[in-house]
Structure 1
Amino acid sequence: MESEKKRGFIINFVYYAIILFMVYVTIKYGFSMLSPFILAFAIASLLKRPSRFLARKLKISKRVTAILLVLLFYSTMGIFISLLGFKIFISLKDLVLALPTIYAVHIEVFLHSIFNDLKEAVGRIEPSLLHTLGDFFNQFTQSLGQFVSTLSISAVGMISNYATSLPALFIKGLLMVISTFFIAADYEELTEFVYRQFPKKVVVMIKKIQEYVVGTLFVCIRSYAIIMGITFVELSLGFLIIGVDNAIQIAFIISVFDIIPILGTGGIIIPWAIISTIQGNYQLAVGLLIIYAIVIVVRYIVEPRIVGRQIGLHPVVALISMFVGLQLFGILGLFGFPILLSLLRYLNDTSTIKLFK
């Protein structure tokens, strides 16, 4: 009897491990290929309720309202992304091209001042080391100057290479837009066709999952909008206190980037603080670092609580799921894993599946 239990446990463990591995491989490698159509379906699903509401109020066809909403959605997103992307691209390009000048005018002068102080200190202790120290400093500044020049050229090349990849991105975007129009226009027919392929019990579960996931997506969007608002207020107050020009506009831009884990607040504030230090503006640099520390601490405290509370997860569970998701699937996992855990909890609570007590 004991051996049967062990055998059953091993079989179940291997079975679920294989399923998890297949899901991981599918999401990791299949999502990229199918992403235009998956995102198109997700957008059409999100616009389903507003489309029905408008069709009922305006007394026109659901298909017409769906197409109009898709057109409005993509027009708004297209204008916003184009303006923001163009501004970022120009700013990055100007910064990269200015790197050699920044090095010559600010960084090299800063290094020379440090070297002069160091030379005076060494001269008082061991004058014989001055010649060696001078040679080392000259080699160091030359190597650093060459590195900055190479970095500038490489960065321009990277920006150019990224620009050459835009056609492929454009094709994916075009496929997504066209697919969204078709899916939104015939949403009921397409979903009914899919439902007919499954048993009634499975269809009930699919509908529960779909309704919950769509609702949870709205909740997640609201959660991160709240987090972005908190970050914006913190940055605005901090920048106004330390006397940054255009404090509100800069705070808004950084709060938008704070949602992106790869960049985040530190991707802008830390380089800004370093440049301020090199320029000798120590007060601004210290102020920026203090603001950054406050934003990070508040973010790590608030994010799990807000996201977890909104989607029904304990803050610790939400934090673990976001970290694991980020490690496994990047940004997709950061947002997707908490939703998946919340979905499993919901299905378990409604007795659709039984995972835990």
Structure 2
Amino acid sequence: MDGEKTGLKKVIIIILFIALLVVTFLIIKPFISAILIAAVLAYMLHPLHKRLSRWIKNRNLSAALITFIFIAVLATIFWLIAQITIKEAFNLYLSIQKLDIFTGLNSLLSKLFINAPEISRQITIALQQTVSQAINGFMIQAGQVITNAPTLFLQIFVAFFVTFYFLRDGEKIVKFVKEMLPFDEEVSQKFLKRSDDIANATIYGQIVVGLIQGATAGIGFYIFGAPSPLFFSVLAIFLSVLPFIGPSIVWVPVSLIMMLSGNFANGLYLFLFGMIVVSWIDNVVKPFIVGRRANINPIIALIGMLGGLALIGPIGLVAGPLILEYLLMLLQFHKKGKIAI
């Protein structure tokens, strides 16, 4: 009889635990992206917080100070860039309709002994439509951001609020996670170490190097007189974090449009700048920043980042590869007999 009561109590506890997990998930579901963003920000800001903690012993004050400074810097940069970028995008949309690519393209084909005005006209229309659609899509996204401003501000508030607590209690959280992992000490240690390596490679290797590539492409836009340089710089920076895509999807068509619209020399210089400088940053800067801590398979990186982006938004660029690597890690541990699945 006592055994039946004990078994019944265990069943009730399990049901209660599962119910609480489900309800908790439903409660935090609207803020999962914000929490993941907070985790990434806390990871990136942790080295600064650790240094500041040597001077400011109060963990609340040091975490709050780091978070506030980051918010102030980010908000200022975003506000300045957003104002100019939206204005440039609108002006570019108007000017692209008047751009005489046809004459330049026809002249170029004539130099190649090809007299094909119809080909020139079709290519011109295709280029104008492609650029116009890209700019129009950007303007639509900007409008949606403004429309969803209240929800966006709430998500941002939660993200920075949670970032503060992650910075303050990061060591306690890591210790708690380690204790909760259903593995022995050796596997738990390897799991956390690999997690740190993957996060480092994803954040600093893919994103930071991508931002550097995009910013370098932006410098090229300014130096060689590309139209609406800030708009294309922001676009290049955003696309640079995606593996296999990068800023070339921006600087190649921009340089071609410049060459075909009468600015052949600067367009050619921009193309060479992209080929020589921008494209090689990945091979020079990435090993320097990441070192040999973790090499993520490019296929895992691509599928993880694009799938994560589609599933949970921008934070999926980090979370996607991380989740796929976790699965591979568990399978490797199982293969080596470290865990049973």
* TM-score interval, normalised by the smaller of the two chains: 0.5 to 0.7
Distance, in Å, in 1 between the alignment partners of 2:338 and 2:234 is: 43
- TM-score under structure 2 length normalisation: 0.60
Give the residue type in structure 2 aligned to 1:175: V
Give yes or no for the alignment of 1:180 onto 2:163: yes
Q: What percentage of aligned pairs have identical amino acids?
A: 16
Q: 1:171 aligns with which of 151, 154, 158?
A: 154
Deviation of the 1:35 alpha carbon: 1.0
Structure 1: runs of 5 or more not aligned: 1-29, 123-132
1:93 aligned partner: 90
- d(CA) in 2 for partners of 1:211 and 1:149? 45
Using structure 1 for the length normalisation, give the TM-score.
0.57
- Given that residues 44 and 183 in structure 1 are in contact (C-alpha distance below 8 angstroms), is that contact kept between their aligned partners in structure 2? yes
- Aligned partner of 1:35 in structure 2 is 33
Give the aligned partner of residue 80 of structure 2. Answer: 83
The question of whether the paired residues in 2 share the 8 Å contact of 1:219 and 1:311 is answered with yes
Letter in 1 for 2:266: L
| Alignment match, 1:12 | none
Q: For 1:189 and 1:344, how far apart are their aligned partners in 2?
A: 24
Q: Is the contact made by 1:67 and 1:181 (CA closer than 8 Å) also made in structure 2?
A: yes
CA distance in 2 between partners of 1:37 and 1:232 (Å): 28
Of 56, 63, 67, 1:66 maps to 63
Amino acid paired to 1:337 = P
Work out whether 1:244 is the aligned partner of 2:227. Answer: no
Q: Name the SS for the 1:69 alignment partner.
A: helix
1:54 maps onto 2:52 in alignment? yes
Kindly provide the amino acid, as one letter, of the partner of residue 101 in structure 2: I
- Whether contact under 8 Å (1:51, 1:62) holds in the other structure is no
Asked if residue 329 in structure 1 is aligned to residue 308 in structure 2, the reply is yes
Which whole-Å CA distance do the structure 2 matches of 1:81 and 1:71 have between them?
15
Equivalent residue for 2:265, pick from 257, 276, 283: 283
Does the Cα contact within 8 Å between 2:213 and 2:278 map onto a contact in 1? no
- Whether the aligned pair in 1 keeps the contact of 2:240 and 2:246 (CA below 8 Å) is yes
- 2:297 paired residue number: 318
Residue 291 of structure 1 and its aligned partner are, at CA, apart by 3.3
2-structure distance, mates of 1:93, 1:219: 37
Bigger shift: 258-267 or 284-293? Answer: 258-267
Q: How does 1:100-115 map to 2 (within 5 A)?
A: 100=97, 102-103=98-99, 106-107=100-101, 109-110=103-104
Measure, in 2, the Cα distance between the counterparts of 1:157 and 1:258: 17
Q: CA RMSD in A?
A: 5.4
1:1-357 equivalence runs, <5 A: 34-48=32-46, 50-58=48-56, 60-100=57-97, 102-103=98-99, 106-107=100-101, 109-110=103-104, 159-187=142-170, 201=183, 209-210=191-192, 212-214=194-196, 216-218=198-200, 220-223=202-205, 225=208, 244=224, 256-257=237-238, 259-261=240-242, 264-294=246-276, 298=280, 309-313=291-295, 318-330=297-309, 332-333=316-317, 337=321, 341=325, 344=329, 353=338
2: CA distance between counterparts of 1:137 and 1:258? 29
Structure ranking higher on relative contact order (CA contacts 8 Å, 6+ apart)? 2
Looking at structure 1, the residues matched to 202 and 131 of structure 2 have their Cα atoms a distance apart, in angstroms, of 43
User: Would you say the 8 A contact 2:308–2:317 is kept in 1?
Assistant: yes
Q: CA deviation at 1:62?
A: 1.4
CA distance in 2, matches of 1:302, 1:145: 33
Question: What displacement does 1:77 show?
Answer: 2.2
What amino acid is aligned across from residue 34 of structure 1 in structure 2?
Answer: I
Amino acid at match of 2:160: V
Label 1:205 to 1:43 Cα distance change in 2 as closer, same or farther (>3 A). Answer: farther
Q: Which has the larger radius of gyration?
A: 1
Contact 2:242-2:302 within 8 A present in 1 as well: no
Q: One-letter code of the match for 1:328? A: G
Letter in 1 for 2:61: V
